Structure 1
Amino acid sequence: MVLGELASQHGVNWTELLKSAGMTEDDCSDSEGRVDARSCLEVFELFATAAGNDALTFDVFSQSPVSYGSIFEYLFLCAATLREGMKNWARFHQTRSNCLNFGYRETDQFGMLNFSLPDHLGPQSQFLFASLGFLCSRIERTTGEDPILFQLEIAAKRPKKASKFQARHGNRITFDADESRILVPSRFLDRIPEGADPSLFRIIEIAALQELTQMDQVESQTSIIAAKISQGLRAGDCSMDYVASAMAMSHRSLQRTLESEGTSYRKVLDDVRRSIAHRHLVDTDRPMKEIAFLLGFSEVSAFSRAVRNWFGVAPRALRQRSTKTAAISDRQTS
């Protein structure tokens, strides 16, 4: 992992940090391996806190060398045009992660690449910063004399620290947006990536298709059910009947599936609610009432009791604690 290479430079004990997130260095060194998404996101958050810089990942990943993204990266760099490259990211996003979702669409003004992670994975601002930095740096690797002045939106609060990435893009970055996306003006969409190569792209496309087939066999049923519960919460129905129907399963089959993986519907629902609450209390400034409603609580008081049970503090205290931690890190490194 790129962060591991920088750990010593910023006084971070990488081994202990990984241990705190339930990971080891071996988990990060296997280029063909997969790591738990929740643990990965936690590593990003812990690194920013330990390094005392909540904007560092912008610069780290916008300056990362070519090949870091493997197949996912070359699906863009070897494409015929910038437009086709972004379409490839949307088409093959699971080659990078089975929980990081991409989409692409166009209007008369922009080609828009959006990316997102499920809220039930918990706080994710640092990973979103890293992803934005990485994606933008690759889009900038296209031919043409004029720089691509794209608009950037990110579904996370503005970091306390500043970065070179933010300085470069200035007021074209919007924080606390409804979604994370890159808006490329239409006049740039036919630009050619620096590594455009039709023959090489065909080889990479075949490899990507094979990898997608393998990915279909990896995801656990519990993680799929958790994603369906998250969708149900947004739709206003997190009942077992809703999730069973969404998965084309019977109520009993859903129970047996969870039991076979050592858990229960009640526990998965509680874990999903806890993680979504954590995500919105730490990463956003959404009103408490809105978060409570999103989680299916009819009263803010019920939401507050649940947060106390999950984290040992009231919702406002949890939000203030994350802000205070960032402020302390800011003073220690200024």
Structure 2
Amino acid sequence: MQRVGVLVELPRVLREHGADPDQVLMEVGVAASLLSDPDNHIPMIQVCDLAACCAEATGQDGFWMKLGTEVRLHHMGVIGELMSCASNLREALADLVMLHPRYAEGGGPYLMNWGDDALLIGYRLHLPHRRGATHMARGAVSFGFHLVQQLSGATAREVLVSLPPPTDRTPYAGIFGAAKLRFGAHHFGLVYDREALQTPMQAADPAVRQGRLAAAAQWLQSQQPDLGERVMRVLVPSVLAGGISLAEASERLGTTPATLVRDLRRQGTSFRKLLNRTRFEMAGQFLLDTRMSIAEVAATLGYSEISAFNRFFAGIGGAPPAEWRAMAMQAAAPAPQP
């Protein structure tokens, strides 16, 4: 499922580009009434089909990127409220990645250290062979680019596109301005340098943030009652971007380290075990959803030796990463047409 969010603007934007929204929505089986409330949800498969249909109806391959430029803070709900009062951009991006799984299933953002002084916020879609998948990924990058500009005024240093260079780059320049475009990348995403990451949010307020963190923790618990899953959602933003301590994870969950350790023990698990599960989850997503090599995935997860990564991955996944990737890609490939 995918939260409607900025899709409430879709009918208007379609009309502005000469397309009939009722006809487009009918073609993919989406009721127009669903787009009246940002908190409604649509199956991710239908959203992918909708992205492709919008491009066809308007004759614009970059239509979903244009839709991404329409994002405003009020489209973001709980996540937007928390991001807006973060102390800096890095903290706000961690908020987005932590809470986003409650907004969408089938795709989402992740954070990853990029060189010595930069951070990548990437987007992965777990339906890579679905019609409209690349439209979705490019739209998400545009969405993130413009959301960050509104929150902090910061501009991405690089825009990564995991597609071959297009013949005409004009549509991209119209969306991303002077930001450096890098095609043929392993990721769809945005790279922000150290200076941008330290940029305070325009509405930064520590006191307000504490209240919103508590509200977000309660909302997360209501949406995802299993404690282990909630811990993993907190860990995901940080596994590839410098790690997170037990104390930091506890704060984001609205509890204390001692209470968290005790509650996890009651469930037969531990912070360390969940951290390893999170690393495995991220490794699996990179193996299946990107063109990264085994060595690159290992290095991304902090392994200096591929052999150590192979042992870690096989210990949880039951097969070495190369074998696991081959089996997973075969299972995910579309069935041949008769």
1:128 pairs with 2:137: yes
Determine if contact 2:65/2:175 at 8 Å carries over to the other structure: no
Q: How does 1:18-167 map to 2 (within 5 A)?
A: 18-106=25-113, 107-119=115-127, 122=130, 123-141=132-150, 148-157=155-164, 162-163=170-171, 165-166=173-174
Secondary structure at the residue paired with 1:111?
strand
Residue of structure 2 equivalent to 1:178:
186
Distance 1:198 1:102 in 2: 25
Determine if contact 1:17/1:47 at 8 Å carries over to the other structure: yes
Structure 1 residues 149 and 180, CA gap change in structure 2 (3 angstroms): closer
Determine if contact 1:53/1:161 at 8 Å carries over to the other structure: no
Secondary structure at the residue paired with 1:67?
helix
Amino acid at match of 1:307: P
Query: How many Å apart are 1:39 and its aligned residue?
Result: 0.4
Determine if contact 1:110/1:185 at 8 Å carries over to the other structure: yes
Distance 1:7 1:167 in 2: 17
Determine if contact 1:62/1:133 at 8 Å carries over to the other structure: yes
Query: How many Å apart are 1:46 and its aligned residue?
Result: 0.7
Secondary structure at the residue paired with 1:104?
strand
Distance 1:9 1:188 in 2: 34
Determine if contact 1:59/1:164 at 8 Å carries over to the other structure: no
Amino acid at match of 2:330: G
1:296 pairs with 2:330: yes
Query: How many Å apart are 1:60 and its aligned residue?
Result: 3.1
Question: Unmatched 5+ residue regions in structure 2?
Answer: 1-6, 226-280, 290-314, 318-324
1:205 pairs with 2:213: yes
Distance 1:120 1:215 in 2: 26
Residue of structure 2 equivalent to 1:265:
none
Structure 1 residues 158 and 119, CA gap change in structure 2 (3 angstroms): farther
Residue of structure 2 equivalent to 1:195:
203
Structure 1 residues 63 and 293, CA gap change in structure 2 (3 angstroms): same
Determine if contact 1:93/1:100 at 8 Å carries over to the other structure: no
Determine if contact 2:159/2:179 at 8 Å carries over to the other structure: no
Taking structure 1 as the reference length, the TM-score comes to 0.61
Query: How many Å apart are 1:25 and its aligned residue?
Result: 0.9
Aligned length: 242
Taking structure 2 as the reference length, the TM-score comes to 0.60
Question: Unmatched 5+ residue regions in structure 1?
Answer: 218-226, 236-244, 248-290, 298-302, 310-334
Distance 1:50 1:161 in 2: 21
Amino acid at match of 1:114: G
Residue of structure 1 equivalent to 2:274:
none
Cα deviation, 1:216-262, whole Å, max 9, x if unaligned, reads: 37xxxxxxxxx9xx97x949xxxxxxxxx989xxxxxxxxxxxxxxx
Query: How many Å apart are 1:50 and its aligned residue?
Result: 0.4
User: Cα RMSD over matched residues?
Assistant: 3.8
Quick one: which of 4, 17, 21 aligns to 2:11?
A: 4
Distance 1:44 1:68 in 2: 18
Determine if contact 1:77/1:138 at 8 Å carries over to the other structure: no
Distance 2:328 2:108 in 1: 21
Cα deviation, 1:78-110, whole Å, max 9, x if unaligned, reads: 211011111111211223313322222335220
Determine if contact 2:83/2:93 at 8 Å carries over to the other structure: yes
